[in-house]
Amino acid sequence: MSAKYVDERLSLPVQYTPGKIGVVTVLFNSEGVLEDFFDSLEGQHYTSFVVYCVDNASSDNSADQCRARGERYVVIENQENVGVAAGNNIGTRRAIADGCEFVMYLNNDVVFGPELFDQLVEGLSLYKCSMTTPIMYYHDRPNMIWAAGGYFQPWFGYRCLHYGDGDHDRGQYDLPRQVKYTPTCCVLVRRDLFSTIGIMDERYFAYWDDTDFMLRAHQFGEILYLLPYAKLWHKVSSSTGINSPFRTRYVHRNHALYGHKHLPPSIAYLISFIYCTGYLLLSLVRRISLSNATDRIKYWREGIRASRYL
């Protein structure tokens, strides 16, 4: 019987700078989106922040572009692509060590207005919560919602879904409210959270890492607020491609890893059987090809094996 995986918790330094944000962004060949990202950052009314640019061995000039922006940008270069989860952890540890009170996970394929940081920080105090997040829109369809927070479906193994995905904003999410999930495309986190629930599980590499993090926060009773007056526009899947082989592999692999981490074994294996059978049925009715179905089953089995790795 293997030991249960334990998420790493951080020991917090006693001293920190009140109000200071450590913005953690993971780079991987991000050169094409950085100019808009920099413009959004440098337009902020809130000025007490440092940007930790964690570069995952990019083959372009992403790291140099960040370095050229000045002292506010701290570039951390990895010798290989360690993944999004590990990249976020590297930035988080550095931000906490440097005395940041808050950590903000922030994609670099986003744009946002000058009041975003102010709004997210004020929301932490106003709602006495551990995390705040903006409403997120599709960049190429500026009034179409990508995520207005989200929720978990226990009957599907705590799968997460976005509120409002694909809906036009008609004011239906205009009231701030508590939600259980948000993608870490943009979320502001109090530093204390990392000593309670831990940092990200690096076994995910990419995809489902934020779902795992948010589920743990929810299980520990930490509160997350959606602030719909805070807005952000996301260039969805700009780094990996929405239907890329990379995304297909890790979405299915990590769904299995997530289920086998958080569910009783009997339930996890039942859900695995249902999903893998479903892939074959989809191929029979020609919704997907047989090779696509067998690939998904292969990735699912890979995720089950990864769940046993401590």
What pLDDT is attached to residue 1? Answer: 38
**17-to-12, 100, 134, 192 alpha-carbon distances in Å:** 13, 6, 24, 14
Mean pLDDT of 96-121: 99
49 has which bridge partners? 21
For residue 65, the SS3 value is: helix
Of residues 287 and 66, more confidently modeled: 66
Mean pLDDT of 141-149: 98
* Euclidean distance between CA atoms 203 and 132, whole angstroms: 25
* Euclidean distance between CA atoms 36 and 44, whole angstroms: 13
CB of 181 closer than 8 Å to CB of 211: yes
Global pTM reads 0.93
pLDDT tens-place string over residues 31-64: 999 999 999 999 999 999 999 999 999 999 999 9
Does residue 239 register a pLDDT over 70? no
Does residue 292 register a pLDDT over 70? yes
**5-to-9, 145, 216, 241, 309 alpha-carbon distances in Å:** 12, 35, 13, 31, 8
Does residue 240 register a pLDDT over 60? no
Mean pLDDT of 79-97: 98
Class of CATH domain 17-234 = alpha beta
Ranking 3-12, 85-94, 166-175, 297-306 by mean pLDDT, the lowest is 3-12
pLDDT tens-place string over residues 195-236: 999 999 999 999 999 999 999 999 999 999 999 999 999 998
For 148-258, strand residue ranges (E) read 150-153, 159-162, 177-179, 186-190, 224-234
Of residues 156 and 282, more confidently modeled: 282
Mean pLDDT of the chain: 94
What pLDDT is attached to residue 241? Answer: 56
Cβ-proximal residues to 123 (8 Å cutoff; 6+ apart), any chain: 129, 132, 176, 188, 225, 227, 230
Does residue 93 register a pLDDT over 50? yes
Mean pLDDT of 108-121: 99
**310 confidence band (pLDDT: 50, 70, 90):** low
pLDDT tens-place string over residues 178-188: 999 999 999 99
What pLDDT is attached to residue 242? Answer: 66
The b-or-e profile of 23-53 (16+ CB within 10 A means b, else e) is bbbbbbbbbebbebbbebbeebebeebbbbb
pLDDT tens-place string over residues 152-170: 998 778 889 999 999 999 9
Mean pLDDT of 6-14: 94
CB of 197 closer than 8 Å to CB of 217: yes
Ranking 5-9, 124-128, 166-170 by mean pLDDT, the lowest is 5-9
Mean pLDDT of 85-112: 98
What pLDDT is attached to residue 309? Answer: 65
What pLDDT is attached to residue 10? Answer: 96
